[in-house]
Structure 1
């Protein structure tokens, strides 16, 4: 699941013209946590997903669906 979320995040930040550092600043999620999302088999905590979806102005489904 983490790999899917990582790919979706990358797609969404590219669409906004952001970098991973900008997403970190906007969401309050550390850069190291963002880099580690794809390495976790279960994916990030719900709280992290909520912060990311809020910063990216997308739904949780946009982050987790293939």
Structure 2
């Protein structure tokens, strides 16, 4: 999931810090998602999607 978040952050010129401020999710928590140690809860995934102006489906990594 985080690969999609990173791509969208880059497209929007947004940092993890700014995403943290918008969502209220601690910066450290977002960085843990980034390092692939954990996936966000449903609530946090919703906050991230809302902050980025995308749907939850856009966060999913499509598996074939």
- TM more than 0.5: yes
Count of aligned residue pairs for this structure pair: 60
Tell me the TM-score normalized by structure 1: 0.83
Shift, 1:6, TM fit = 1.1
- Separation in 2, partners of 1:9, 1:45: 15
Q: Using CA pairs below 8 Å that are at least 6 residues apart, which structure has the higher relative contact order?
A: 1
RMSD value, Cα:
0.9
Moved runs in structure 1, 4+ residues, more than 6 A? none
Shift, 1:28, TM fit = 1.1
* Cα deviation 1:12-65 (Å, max 9, x = unaligned): 11010011101111111111110111212xx21000000000000000011112
Question: SS state of the match for residue 22, structure 1?
Answer: helix
1:47 corresponds to 2:20: no
Gaps of at least 5 residues in structure 1 are none
Aligned to 2:27: 31
